[in-house]
Amino acid sequence: MHYRYIIFDVDDTLIDYQKAERNVFARILADYALPMDDALFDELLDISWDEWARSGLRDLCDPAVLDDYHPRYRRYLRDFFARFAKRLELPFDGEEGRARFLSYFARERETVAGAVTVCQTLSRRCRLAAATNGLIETQQVRIEPLMGYLDRLFISEALGYIKPDPRFFQKMLGLLGAKASDCLMVGDSLHTDIKGACACGMDSCWLNPAGRPSKEGLAPTYTITRLQELLTL
């Protein structure tokens, strides 16, 4: 590959978000000697998605959401964990649930299959960075297993903008001292990673392990099903 920088999304690209979320829910339940099973996890995910929609966070193209993402995200966590506690009759409110989630979530650092090898190998060929929507208090800690291979970490809360907002990518490029043509954005989200990269003229690589069809007329430069395929592009 001819790129000066390869920029990775974090959650479900380098770090396993889905496993982390289940582990955190299970850990909170274990604090009260309660078990986690697939049916309960699916029910909690349904509640989570409902609160995500109620918060407006599904529409990341809405200017109001772009400019208010992190406060909305914190409110979403508060409201979700208020329902989580009520559903399971647990003795905490939404504020406490949010704090406990963020504390436990920061410790969930299991990498996606192949992430360490891919980062180690590519770091010998070009410079690597990571770009993530999220909170500083969790994302800065979760990426630590791979920071030895990354030159920079861009967290939306620190930048003041979120993917796919063009301002996120413009500010990131400015801090890297790079042009869009110097960079390849790698991520699992068509909406945040690929759309954002395409909008600023950056090549993109869609990590699509489920083989889903592309939507919204987006055309990634590359599509891979496993992170290791980056090494052969």
List the chain pLDDT tens, one digit each, 233 residues: 789 999 999 999 999 999 999 999 999 999 999 999 999 999 999 999 999 999 999 888 888 888 899 999 999 999 999 999 999 999 999 999 999 999 999 999 999 999 999 999 999 999 999 999 999 999 999 999 999 999 999 999 999 999 999 999 999 999 999 999 999 999 999 989 999 999 999 999 999 998 888 876 788 999 999 999 999 98
- Shortest CA distance to 157 belongs to which of 102, 209, 194, 115? 102
Say which residue the tokens 């003229």 belong to: 201
pTM of the model: 0.94
CA distances from 188 to 53, 87, 222 (A): 20, 31, 12
Token digits for 147? 């920071």
Q: What is the rounded distance in angstroms from the CA atom of residue 23 to the CA atom of residue 116?
A: 21
Q: What is the rounded distance in angstroms from the CA atom of residue 202 to the CA atom of residue 194?
A: 9
Instruction: State the pLDDT at residue 229.
Output: 96
